[in-house]
Structure 1
């Protein structure tokens, strides 16, 4: 190890000295490496951030779930045209799915309302009221920070109970324990039996599926919502507006969704008033898209690195030409061809190493700027930095070998006489 350092350190010192003599030329040579490595780091940070964000949304939907949503009409005329063909989403759909689809583990219809008034009063946005069956907790993998979820008996009797989202609880009841207290939705008082854990992020939309933030929800038994909050002008509305399904472990959710879609298409006569979403399918699709995007970006970054490598080769060939006499003198006093190769190869690698470090700084900064300007999520990982830096060093070695070998092949006598 000591002998290796003794052999390498002089080359490193000589390489640094040579690079510092021509600072501007060295910096211009590094630009290709800086932009190439920076592009790789920023690209991987963006794709990792997008993938992480998408995975979090897919996780909210549930990878083993199937979600059926009633599609809202743009206006009343469109709604009347649909009703002339299809009755909309109903409990009949739910029963047909449960009776004719195998591999389902849990299921619940959903009915939601936007309350007109809420007590205690709040200046914040009113919460969304949804009615579901108790299986909703397991399907959505809900966690409670207070109390419990409502049970089958409370759903069967349309009990006036509810579970609050974290934001709803704070807006209506403050930071004190909420279980046992009451909130009034429209004209109905509901007793709070539980509070859901906070969910990161707000309402969003994934492939047409609206993901309601659990933070601003009031969740009640389905029968409670149907019997206590149904208005008299609902003949054109869907009887239910959503169905959540979870398939059993080992069941192909994509194939199951195809069966469900066929059942609904027959009942709704292809009215186009519903959507069937499979998070597992979305995940596969997003991964394919992400992989394609990553390949394209790597190719673009690779071109930048290739240009940087050509720049290194070009400058090293020019350096060999400039230092022909120096090479001849070194060979004359006993330097071997391997010493000359190592000397020039060290310089090429040093250019790529320094350029790689600067490129990493540039890439991380670029990723942060993109995240701040575009609102995208970016994740800079150790793997992305290691890959980018390793590629830059490899480029330096690859494109530095030819100039180093050319320098070592110079005839010492001719080199000394070179002017």
Structure 2
């Protein structure tokens, strides 16, 4: 049966060429959407490296004043005033808040290994680990005991540790920035820190200690751990308390949960748009496929009549029409897989197209295309199977 179907498909190759290309294009589009969705699911399940539950962000807007003009003692005043609020549990200062598009990059060099690695940086105060519930897997978070140390204490993720000190233990090692202006010491290791969104691709990340009394750096973001169930109306009380410290500044206040939802919406809208476009394209492919199958079945009425006359059953005709379409779809799918498998083999898209994503997207795309082909061939196959031999043989 299969050999017979292959012969029929080959003899009608010129007629099936455009249809095969249409199925191939539909397969590629479905594969692309499925790959994006699966990669997003894969990233969503990976640990973020912190917990933003019941955490609020406060961005300090100093107006025309530069950040460097902020007095060092203001941070301690802010901490004490904010902790006076009954809803506040922890107060920390960072160079930028999670769930924003802010990024600070720098290159660091290890004198022991000679490695020079670019990484994302976040300056954070001693209380940030408690405010964001950052789990340190080895070593410790920096603290007041590091005040006055000749080196800058830092906590880095495993990815950066492996790149900076390949095959070696990073904990306790020292390295410098690219210009050798600062010596930094690794005091702790975390698994990950994906600050932008739950769909952020893991990157090199390092967090250095923010000490306003020991350096010239001035950060302008506060992270607050608040009591569970704190209502949004707390924003007014928080703003009043901040104004007591510096009335000439303004403050942008938002819960991290709200910022996270906004980031997710921004990232998922393009995927939703692509999904709608793909749905319209599949609908057009379905209509075209149905029309071609109907036309091909009408052209083959004499052939169908002859088969019925020599003893073929209606079910045999039905199965032949459906099987031919599934075979044609299989040819297009195999060709598509041969082309698309080059992506994980060559690593052209990096981790975006790893093997689990490729295999999952290929499987989903095959199911969609086979289901579409089956649905489009059911009615033409049923109509062909209902033809009587006499009617089919007298057809002109």
Judge same fold: TM > 0.5, yes or no: yes
Q: 1:181 to 1:282 in 2, by over 3 A?
A: closer
Cα distance, 1:39 vs. partner?
0.9
Structure-2 separation of matches of 1:333 and 1:139: 78
The answer to whether the 8 Å contact 1:131/1:226 transfers is no
The answer to whether the 8 Å contact 2:91/2:223 transfers is yes
Match of 1:97 in 2: 82
Of 357, 381, 387, the match for 1:404: 381
Structure-1 separation of matches of 2:289 and 2:265: 35
Q: 1:17 to 1:252 in 2, by over 3 A?
A: farther
Cα distance, 1:344 vs. partner?
0.8
Q: Summarize the alignment of residues 179-218 of structure 1 with structure 2, pairs less than 5 Å apart.
A: 179=172, 194-197=187-190, 214-215=205-206, 217-218=207-208
Secondary structure at 1:196's aligned position in 2? strand
* Correspondence 1:415 to 2:392: yes
Match of 1:229 in 2: 215
Match of 1:245 in 2: 224
Secondary structure at 1:386's aligned position in 2? helix
* Correspondence 1:139 to 2:132: yes
Cα distance, 1:29 vs. partner?
0.7
Cα distance, 1:350 vs. partner?
2.2
Match of 1:31 in 2: 21
Structure-2 separation of matches of 1:415 and 1:385: 41
316-325 or 252-261, which moves further after superposition? 252-261
Cα distance, 1:341 vs. partner?
1.3
Q: Summarize the alignment of residues 252-263 of structure 1 with structure 2, pairs less than 5 Å apart.
A: 252=229, 255=232, 258=235, 262-263=239-240
Structure-2 separation of matches of 1:307 and 1:327: 28
Q: Summarize the alignment of residues 354-373 of structure 1 with structure 2, pairs less than 5 Å apart.
A: 354-360=331-337, 372=348
Q: What is the TM-score normalised by the length of structure 2?
A: 0.69
Secondary structure at 2:58's aligned position in 1? strand
Match of 1:18 in 2: 8
* Correspondence 1:109 to 2:93: yes
RMSD: 5.2
Q: Deviations over 1:369-414 (max 9, x none)?
A: 9x958x8945625443333222211111111122212212223123
Q: Any gaps of 5 or more consecutive residues in structure 1?
A: 1-9, 231-236
Q: Summarize the alignment of residues 287-326 of structure 1 with structure 2, pairs less than 5 Å apart.
A: 287-326=264-303
Structure-2 separation of matches of 1:322 and 1:396: 19
Secondary structure at 1:342's aligned position in 2? helix
Structure-1 separation of matches of 2:323 and 2:252: 61
From the CA coordinates, give the structure whose radius of gyration is larger.
Answer: 1
Q: 1:253 to 1:27 in 2, by over 3 A?
A: farther
Count of aligned pairs between the two proteins: 372
Q: 1:36 to 1:327 in 2, by over 3 A?
A: same
Q: Any gaps of 5 or more consecutive residues in structure 2?
A: 97-104
Structure-1 separation of matches of 2:122 and 2:297: 76
The answer to whether the 8 Å contact 1:32/1:307 transfers is no
Secondary structure at 1:163's aligned position in 2? strand
Structure-2 separation of matches of 1:270 and 1:354: 70
The answer to whether the 8 Å contact 1:340/1:408 transfers is yes
The answer to whether the 8 Å contact 1:44/1:384 transfers is yes
Of 153, 158, 161, the match for 1:163: 153
Structure-2 separation of matches of 1:25 and 1:80: 71
Structure-2 separation of matches of 1:34 and 1:299: 19
Q: Deviations over 1:235-261 (max 9, x none)?
A: xx96x533233345xx25783874576
Secondary structure at 1:133's aligned position in 2? coil
Q: Deviations over 1:163-219 (max 9, x none)?
A: 3345699979x96776498999x9x99995824357588xx867xxxx99643x543
Q: 1:43 to 1:169 in 2, by over 3 A?
A: closer
The answer to whether the 8 Å contact 2:306/2:393 transfers is yes
Secondary structure at 1:93's aligned position in 2? helix
Q: 1:256 to 1:400 in 2, by over 3 A?
A: same
